[in-house]
Chains A and B, each alone.
Chain A
Amino acid sequence: MWNWTIWKNALTDSVKKLDPRYQFKNPVMFIVWVCALITTGSLLTHSTRLNSSLWFLITVSVFLWATVWFANLAESVAEGRGKAQANDGIPSDREVIQGVAAVNESALTIILICLSLIFVVGFATLLPVARFLAPDMPNAITVIQLAALLVCLIPTTIGGLLSAIGIAGRDRLVRKNIIAMSGRAIEAAGDVTVLLLDKTGTITHGNRRATDLFPAPDVLPEQLADAAYLASISDETPEGKSTVELAKKLATPTILDGNYSDAEFVPFSAASRMSGVIIGDRDIRKGALDATIKWVTECGGAVPEAAKHQAETIARQGGTPLLVADNGKIMGVIALRDIVKDGIRERFGELRGSGIRTVMITGDNPFTAAAIAAQAGVDDFVAEATPQQKLALIRKLQAEGHIVAMVGDGTDDAPALAQADVAVAMNSGTQAAKEAANMIDLDSDPTKLIDVVQIGKQLLATRGALTTFSLANDIAKYFAIVPAMFTPIFPQLSPLNIMHLGTPETAIASSVIFNAIVIGLLLPIAMRGVTITAQPLVTILRRNLLIYGVGGLIVPFIGIKLIDMLIGMWI
């Protein structure tokens, strides 16, 4: 936030943005721009004819321009931070960010424009009203007063900070190493009700690992470890490597130190579904349950019931049993298991807390899937899923009105990613997956979706909070400006000056100044985002309404009064 280069660039940038062609894109601020121009114009040309003090005209003109400039500055600072982040080695294409279509932002913009329109028409009405009420006072209400009133009342606070909020939101994603290609997806993230995750590489580490060795009844654990070690030393698959790692812990030192350069390796094949090694007269194999049993039986060996039973238990728990056999004798069972990533269970719990159902999708059989699902703490799972089924599932959920997020990395995930509302592809994933997704996670960490959801919610909540604040402010501003403007026509209106502001001029000037500086004061909130806690929605709503609604009602009364007192010391 306090990086000097950012601010230096933002300062020049914000002045360049005073160009009316740029301002026109933000109708609310364009109205302020026009009002500032009118005020400055009348300051330079008619100042003697309008019966206002010079300090008042100058103050109002200066702070009307300041209002526009603060809004520009907010946007430039937000952009500057985004750029600085992008220069830190994260590839972020600025064109993409600018081309983002933000649905909710445009809905809010419509509301702000319509509100501004009401104020423009409403205050224009005051001219004929004043002429009707006071035909002998041609300058009962001056254009400067109307311009000041208009700028204070139109939602400049949110209008000025709206684009900064959006940019800062995307910037927060970039900070989490997530590249968003669509603003719609960021907003939709806050509404996600179902999260689909591919199992492998997403919930579990990409590969199964050997976790346990179960020796057969008459075999010592070291013997099994030795056999498993030898059977796997040439096995370059992740299963083989993890078996070696596990076996090393138990195997006898002589085996570990042995030289096996003369050993003959039996590679894994789809037909045999076994791999192994032949060292001298020892033929050691490890492999799938039925394949190994077949081999042992062919060699004339027996399969102990206990080992078979053990293998079945492992399979039922979602693991993959590998039988180890040494010269036709069953040595024991290696349990290969999916390792659920650390902390994922807790993060799924958090998701559940924020109303998101997690569904694991896997090509595994239902047993394995159920076991992993239980271990990872997902709410539901779909086993033996094909790419078509994934797509169909998303369509079905969407037809039920769910907002579906999908995290995937493989090419077979691409159709599903393209269909999902929020589609996060792992950076480690295939090109097809990345192209189909609307966000890419550079860290390939699926649980980051929680961050995306959080940021999406924050984005909306910040807009809502500042809109509420902006509108609640208006009540106090009315009580400051309206009595000041109208007491010349109707002296009996002075009791409405409930803040006891010094003079009509100080009252209007204080409101304009407050209105301008509040944009600057709220910039940190716009950049940081409003906090959304994991509480019931009604509690969050109550809290935010108290802070930004009731707060927005009270703060300007205090702020305007203080500024009025300050001005009063000098005038």
Chain B
Amino acid sequence: MIFSFLIQMIVLVAVLALVGPILGWAIARVMDRPLGGDSLVSKIESGLLRLCGVDPTQEMDWKRYSIAVVQLTAVGIVVLALIQMVQGWLPLNPQGFDNVPFHLALNTAISFVTNTNWQSYGGESTLSYFTQAIGLTPQNFISAAAGIAVLMAFVRGIRSQSSASLGNFWVDTMRAIVWILLPLSIVLSIFLAGNGVVQTLSRGPHGIAVGPAASQVAIKQLGTNGGGFFNANSAHPFENPNATTGLIELAAILLIPAALCFSYGHWVKRKDHGRGLFIVMTVFLVVGMGICYSSERITPSAPGQRSLVVGGNMEGKEMRFGIPQSVIWATATTAASNGSVNAMHDSFRPMGGFVTMAIMALGEVIFGGVGSGLYRMILFAMLTVFVGGLMIGKTPEYLGKKIEANETRWVIIGLIMPSLAVLGGLSIALVIPGISTLLTNPGAHGLSEVLYAVLSAANNNGSAFAGLNANTPGMNTLLGVLMLVGRLAVMLPVLAIAGGLSVKSPGPDTDSAEITRSLLFYVLLGSIIVIVGALTFFPVFVLGPIADALRH
């Protein structure tokens, strides 16, 4: 079994390391290309922009860019919530589902608009084909594209020669959709449909749930969305029928976040830096997978009894994926802020569950969401140059731009807001009357179930531990707020930093640049990520998964 684990992990990392740079180069090219052109895609791009009434030549400073981000988020939430609340009267509803209640509709709308894709509902038993295909799927594209757009604005701030412009949010978003996400999704959904993933608009025989799944699965994986067509997500045979589709879907989770590291290297003309960030992320990922695997390979047994099963902890895992692919998927999906699952994390042994929670608690920077993972990682890199710069007696400088009081403030705010939301959300969740009745487990494991939910929401991951019935007005509202905070309270500080940096002129290539070229920098970066995460969450993790693990 260990060979199966190692081989799949090595294949996954190799795919990322080989395809990542190529895709990264391509993404860097298309995001930086001038508007217009004769190709079909350029015509679609400019046509759609005209249709949306966007003036593509308008340059936005950080405030205008932020307003555009908030506008898109707000409109997306309202439209998506409305579609759900009237789906019973809309077409493409062969199962005749009712309108979705307000609190669930709002939660789901925020969830998909913020690229979280937390699901308080079961897809096949709640949402019509119309809602899934016309409501949710477009948001899968838009939310991922918005992440790339904000990253792009950040990049422009970092590399600009004292100009206030960060580009145009609408153009950046549209460009990410038509040049990156759509082509990749089309290829992937055709592959998936050809390999047994369901794609139909008709009602399934004998009440079997089917639907237009393949097209949603493709973007759900590629856009680090993760909201499954079916409740069982990628553990469901119609979403993920075999180990081959499993491995492809797995690679799709990490593909764009990994590629963006290399794009970043091109954008800021520091390929070594993009590569360095990729390596740091990969090291965390591999270590996480290793710990998770070593936890799950052990067969659980009740104290004093011999286990009746062999071959590790198979509870909540699919036979066709086995422990290796389940463990790799679980680590990848929580690392990349994807949130799709092919096994039930609640049934992992406590240390395995700890890995999935810890990797989210690090701030969704181990690849993280499309765009969002990298810009959060860059915030950490800025914190690292702040600490490192001080240690050598230099005002901190990141890629030639000085990190001063204004930037430092937004860096730290962007980094801690999701954590504050997690901790605050945990307090509120625990004082909701009757919280215990929503949980399947008491004590430490019950705490883990709640902790997982708030971590997943506030870090825009969206995967569920299971074991918590989150579809109550209270939990839906709380998690909705957390998702919104986790998205905007990072995006807006990032744009503020971009605005602050953009008007500065880059410094000469001094010795300070040597720091970001050294291995030591990446070691320090990794240590800071671990220490910030550990300092924030050590006590609750001790009381949750660690107490749970030591009990066994």
Residues of A within 8 A of B (CB): 103-104, 106-108, 110-111, 114-115, 117-119, 121-133, 149, 153, 187-188, 190-191, 193, 355, 399-403, 456-461, 463-465, 467-468, 471-472, 474-475, 478, 482-483, 486, 489-490, 492-493, 495-496, 532, 536-538, 540-542, 544-545, 548-549
**Contact present for B420 and A132 (CB under 8 Å):** no
Q: Would you mind naming 11 contact pairs between A and B with Cβ atoms under 8 Å apart?
A: A107-B408, A129-B430, A133-B543, A190-B394, A401-B506, A482-B542, A492-B550, A492-B551, A536-B511, A541-B388, A545-B524
The total number of A-B Cβ pairs within 8 Å is 204
Which B residues touch A188, using CB under 8 A?
A: 395
Contact B423 A122 (CB under 8 A): yes
Chain B contacts with A in 387-437, Cβ cutoff 8 A: 387-395, 400, 403-405, 408-409, 412-413, 416, 419-420, 423-424, 426-427, 430-431, 435-436
- Are the CB atoms of B535 and A471 closer together than 8 Å? yes
For residue B92, CB closer than 8 A to chain A, the reply is: no
Contact with B394, one of A106, A191, A401 (Cβ below 8 angstroms)? A191
Answer whether residue B518 sits at the interface, using C-beta atoms and an 8 A cutoff. yes
* Contact flags B536-552 to A (C-beta < 8 A → 1, else 0): 11111011001100110
Complex partner residue of A118 from B405, B419, B443, B524, CB under 8 angstroms: B419
Closest Cβ–Cβ distance, residue B545 to chain A (whole Å): 12
* Contacts known (A464-B387, A489-B543); A399 close to B505, Cβ less than 8 A: yes
| Inter-chain contacts of B535 with A (CB < 8 A) | 115, 118-119, 153, 471, 474-475, 478
Q: A-B pairs with the 7 shortest C-beta distances?
A: A464-B390, A457-B393, A401-B507, A107-B408, A464-B391, A461-B393, A107-B405
User: Does B447 belong to the interface (CB within 8 Å)?
Assistant: yes
Instruction: Identify the closest chain B residue to A478 (Cβ).
Output: B538
With both beta carbons as reference points, the residue of chain A lying nearest to B552 in the complex is identified as A492
Identify which of B400, B420, B426 contacts A129 (C-beta below 8 A): B426
Residues of B512-545 whose CB lies within 8 A of A: 512, 514-515, 518, 520, 524, 527, 531, 534-540, 542-543
Say yes or no: is B508 at the interface (Cβ < 8 Å to chain A).
Answer: yes
B386 at the interface (CB under 8 A from A): yes
Docked pose: A517 CA to B496 CA in angstroms: 40
Known: A106-B405, A401-B506. A133 touches B416 (CB 8 A): no
Say yes or no for B444: interface residue by CB 8 A criterion. yes
| Residue among A127, A149, A471 making CB contact with B531, cutoff 8 Å | A471
Q: For B512, what are the chain A residues with a Cβ–Cβ distance below 8 Å?
A: 537
Residues of B within 8 Å of A537, CB to CB, are 392, 394, 511-512, 514-515
Contacts known (A110-B412, A402-B507); A461 close to B430, Cβ less than 8 A: no
Within 8 A of A (CB), among B492-511: 505-508, 510-511
Closest to B383 in A: A111
- The answer on a CB contact under 8 Å between A456 and B424 is no
Q: Which residues of A contact B546 (CB under 8 A)?
A: 493, 496
Q: A118-B419, A124-B427, A193-B508 are in contact. Are A103 and B389 (CB under 8 A)?
A: no
Q: Complex formed: what's the CA distance from A276 to B228 in Å? A: 102
Interface of chain B, main secondary structure: helix
Asked whether B412 lies within 8 Å of A460 as measured between CB atoms, the reply is no
Whether the Cβ atoms of A457 and B394 lie closer than 8 Å is yes
**Once bound together, how far apart are the Cα atoms of A118 and B531, in whole Å?**
13
B409 touches A110 (CB 8 A): yes
Give Cα A516–Cα B278 distance, bound, in whole angstroms: 41
Chain A residues within an 8 Å CB radius of B427: 124-125, 127-129
Q: Is the CB of B431 within 8 A of A128?
A: yes
The residue in chain B whose Cβ has the minimal distance to the Cβ of A153 is B535
Q: Which residue of A lies closest to B424 (CB)?
A: A121
**How far is it, in angstroms, between the C-alpha of A127 and the C-alpha of B444 when the chains are bound?**
15
Cβ of B79 to closest chain A Cβ, rounded Å: 34
Extra contacts, 11 of them, besides A117-B420, A129-B543 (Cβ < 8 A), are A107-B409, A111-B383, A115-B535, A128-B430, A193-B510, A467-B390, A468-B387, A490-B547, A490-B550, A541-B388, A544-B391
Q: Which of A110, A123, A126, A532 contacts B393 (CB 8 A)?
A: A532
A52–B534 CA distance with the chains assembled, in angstroms: 29
- A111 near B514: Cβ-Cβ < 8 Å: no
Bound CA span A130–B507, Å: 51
Please state if B405 and A458 are interface contacts (CB–CB under 8 Å): no
Contact yes or no, B506 A103, CB < 8 A = no
User: What is the distance, in angstroms, from B407's C-beta to the closest C-beta of chain A?
Assistant: 8
Say which residue of B424, B435, B444, B518 sits within 8 Å of A490 (CB atoms): B444
Could you tell me if B543 and A495 are in contact, using CB atoms closer than 8 angstroms? no
Task: Contact check, A463 vs B390: say whether CB atoms are below 8 A apart.
Answer: yes
Contact of B391 with A541 in the complex, beta carbons under 8 Å? yes
The complex places the Cα of A110 from the Cα of B534 at a distance, in Å, of 20
In the assembled complex, the CB of A133 is this many whole angstroms from the nearest CB of chain B, namely 6
Min CB gap A473→B, angstroms: 11
Instruction: Tell me the bound Cα distance from A115 to B514 in angstroms.
Output: 28
Q: Which residues of B contact A110 (CB under 8 A)?
A: 405, 408-409, 412
Query: Known: A121-B424, A464-B387. Is A190-B412 also a contact (CB below 8 A)?
Result: no
CB-CB nearest in chain B for A547:
B391
Q: A121-B420, A122-B423, A544-B391 are in contact. Are A133 and B444 (CB under 8 A)?
A: yes
Closest CB in chain B relative to A182 CB, distance in Å: 14
The answer to whether B430 touches A104, judged by C-beta atoms less than 8 angstroms apart, is no
Tell me the bound Cα distance from A190 to B402 in angstroms.
13
**Which residues of B lie under 8 Å from residue A124 when comparing CB positions?**
423, 427
Q: Is the CB of A460 within 8 A of B409?
A: no
Q: How far is the CA of A455 from the CA of B354 in the complex (A)?
A: 46
Interface string of B364-401 (1 = CB under 8 A from A): 00000000000000000001001111111111000010
